[in-house]
Amino acid sequence: MEPKIHVYKDLQELSLAAADLFVDKAAHTIATYGRFLIALSGGSTPKPLYELLAQAPFRDRIDWDKLHFFWGDERCVSHDDSENNYFQAKQSLFDYIPVPEYNIHRIISELEPEDAAKDYVRVLKDFAQSPYDWPRFDLVLLGMGDDGHTASLFPGSPVDVTSPTVAVTANYQDRPAKRVSLTPLVFNTARCVVFLAVGKEKAETLAKILNGEYHPQLLPAQRIRPTDGEIIWLIDEAAAVKL
Ligand code: 6PG
């Protein structure tokens, strides 16, 4: 399916639109399937979205105990480290909403990446939807790095991965290097993938990803192409200047 691209004035407007989208998807999915499976992203861009969801009016429009939270990737540091993706979501969202703790499926980031990746495979299996060994996520939130990475799929990493999770070592903007990531196998079975990207630093790479040739090795965000789901880019005007 062709990506849908929506451009907003700034991160604040974008986050409001993302919160509306989140609430609508949750309501429709819960009405159909009785639950809503979501994979969150790390990075700085989704933080205002998480903060909006934690407050009225959005908070009151969501049936929180029907949501199950997973992560597209995690940084292998303690679960109360400010660099930890689960911790970011806890501080900006979970601490303010009535979601049962057993609906939060964090990646065990205190383990070595290989072990954490294996453990996460087991967690995903519990929610598997045939013919896959993992759930079909109703919503996947992803970011994009200035270098074209997404989740913890970095330029130069193997493209033809056959496992649902991978252990990764990567240095990017002084963020923790040991990581665990879902792979395109899982992302591409999602019902909906939403990328959030802002800032002029991302403009050139974004144009290559969306309008350039297909170079999945160099531009991992291009590896994300849901086979039977939609893909939506929410970006700001600064990131859109080269489109
Ligand atoms: C992470 C991410 C990563 C992030 C991008 C964009 O854990 O670091 O999941 O893929 O989304 O690096 O980060 P920003 O939103 O900070 O630009």
Here the tokens at position 213 are 């040739």
Neighbouring C-beta atoms of residue 100, cutoff 10 Å: 10
One-letter identity of residue 235: I
| pLDDT tier at 172, thresholds 50, 70, 90 | confident
The single residue listed with the structure tokens 């609508």 is 24
Instruction: Give pTM, 2 decimals.
Output: 0.98
> What number does the ligand 1 atom closest to the CA of 172 have?
12
Say whether pLDDT at 1 is over 80: no
Helix (H) or strand (E) holding 167: strand 165-169
User: If you average pLDDT over residues 130-155, what whole number do you get?
Assistant: 97
Q: Cα(136) to centroid of ligand 1, in Å?
A: 22
Mean pLDDT, the chain, integer: 97
Here the tokens at position 103 are 């609906």
3-state secondary structure string across 10-60:
CHHHHHHHHHHHHHHHHHHHHHHHCCEEEEECCCCCCHHHHHHHCCCCCHH
Say whether pLDDT at 170 is over 90: no
Strand order in the sheet with 165-169: 73-75, 178-182, 165-169
Closest residue CA from atom 11 of ligand 1: 143
Residues lining ligand 1, CB < 6 A? 41-45, 73, 75, 85, 143-145, 149-151, 175
Cβ neighbours of residue 90 closer than 8 Å, sequence gap 6 or more: none
Return the minimum-mean-pLDDT range out of 10-19, 68-77, 96-105, 167-176.
167-176
Q: Cα(129) to centroid of ligand 1, in Å?
A: 27
pLDDT score for 175: 84
Taking only the tens place, the pLDDT of each residue in 32-62 is 999 999 999 999 999 999 999 999 999 999 9
Q: Cα(32) to centroid of ligand 1, in Å?
A: 31
Of 107, 47, 108, residue with least CA distance to 73: 107
| pLDDT tier at 150, thresholds 50, 70, 90 | very high
> What number does the ligand 1 atom closest to the CA of 173 have?
12
Tell me phi and psi for residue 39, to 5 degrees: -110, 120
| pLDDT tier at 31, thresholds 50, 70, 90 | very high
| pLDDT tier at 207, thresholds 50, 70, 90 | very high
Say whether pLDDT at 212 is over 80: yes
In DSSP notation, 102-161 reads: GGB----TTS-HHHHHHHHHHHHHHT--TTSSS---SEEEEE--TTS-BTTB-TTS-S--
User: If you average pLDDT over residues 20-42, what whole number do you get?
Assistant: 98
pLDDT score for 26: 98
User: If you average pLDDT over residues 103-122, what whole number do you get?
Assistant: 98
Say whether pLDDT at 111 is over 80: yes
